[in-house]
Amino acid sequence: MTRKQKILFLCDASDIEEVEHSFAEQSTYDLTIETTEKILSFGVRDYLYQTVERINHYPEIYDGVVGTHDSSAVFAAIIAEETGKRFASVQSIISCQNKYLCRRIQRTCVPEYTPNFCLALDYLRNPERLQTPFFIKPVRANISFGTHRIETPEQLEFYIGAESMDIARFNQYYLEAIGSYARHYNAINMATSNSFLCEDLIDGDQVTVDGYIFEGEVTCFGVTKAVYHPRTNCF
């Protein structure tokens, strides 16, 4: 009889029903589901320390770790890297979730498709770095929070003052998780996550490409076009 693959599956509580349904007929997997809400309630650092210690003491309890959202992916990557289990690396998660670092990588790999960009404070020191109007977004956030079209430096200063505290509160769990293990420190990530990114306006269709890379091979699930809510930047 084939041994089931034991997976620690981290997701939001609202996803449990869908996850269980998706794996209902997958007899080769044995899931242990834990929620982001539980982790935040328990304490991010304590949860990571205790989970890593338990897996390292009993390595056979899981074969892999999965995280499905921005938050749970960070937790899963740290757990996997600290225990030798399969999942995306911590650095790859940082590179995807920190938009400033992501833009730097894009500028190296596909400069012809990368808009001109800089951090908000760098722009305020030298407004000639970008032409107005331009677009701002938190270096790390989601659901289009804190995204705005900027016409003047004064408008940028307003949004920095109005929204920086909310961004910092949102990113508290992320920075606590990344900071739990010294080898995952990334100085630029830690210094910029609560900042704003400024970049040139671009046009075209916005899409999400879903897929994964496994052992160097790219697999694409599909491409989803973004449909915006009226008079908002949310889709």
Same domain, yes or no, for 56 and 133?
Answer: no
Structural domain of 187: 112-225
Using an 8 Å Cβ cutoff, are 100 and 119 in contact? yes
Q: Note whether residue 62 is domain-resident.
A: yes
Same domain, yes or no, for 127 and 193?
Answer: yes
Same domain, yes or no, for 82 and 121?
Answer: no
Q: Which of 54, 88, 122 is the last residue before a domain boundary?
A: 88
Same domain, yes or no, for 117 and 218?
Answer: yes
Q: Which of 33, 54, 88 is the last residue before a domain boundary?
A: 88
Q: Note whether residue 234 is domain-resident.
A: no
Same domain, yes or no, for 121 and 210?
Answer: yes
- Report CA-CA distances (Å) from 10 to 55, 72, 76, 79, 222: 15, 6, 7, 11, 23
- Measured distance between the N- and C-terminal CA atoms of the chain, rounded to whole angstroms: 46
Please give the pLDDT value at position 72. Answer: 95
Rounded-to-integer distance, Cα 158 and Cα 141, Å: 18
Same domain, yes or no, for 77 and 137?
Answer: no
Share above pLDDT 70 across residues of the chain, in percent, rounded to a whole number: 100
Give the number of domains in the chain: 2
Please give the pLDDT value at position 105. Answer: 98
Residue 100's pLDDT band, with cuts at 50, 70 and 90, is: very high
DSSP 8-state class, residue 12: -
Q: Note whether residue 93 is domain-resident.
A: no
The answer, yes or no, to whether residue 1 has pLDDT greater than 80, is: no
Closest by alpha carbon to 202, among 121, 106, 108? 106
Same domain, yes or no, for 177 and 218?
Answer: yes
Q: Which of 88, 120, 145 is the last residue before a domain boundary?
A: 88
State pLDDT tens for residues 112-130: 999 999 999 999 999 999 9
Same domain, yes or no, for 83 and 187?
Answer: no
State pLDDT tens for residues 165-216: 999 999 999 999 999 988 888 899 999 999 999 999 998 888 988 888 888 8
Same domain, yes or no, for 67 and 117?
Answer: no
Q: Note whether residue 204 is domain-resident.
A: yes
Assign residue 148 the CATH number of its domain: 3.30.1490
Q: Note whether residue 81 is domain-resident.
A: yes
Same domain, yes or no, for 80 and 164?
Answer: no
Assign residue 60 the CATH number of its domain: 3.40.50
Same domain, yes or no, for 123 and 215?
Answer: yes
Using an 8 Å Cβ cutoff, are 118 and 196 in contact? no
Same domain, yes or no, for 116 and 165?
Answer: yes
Q: Note whether residue 95 is domain-resident.
A: no
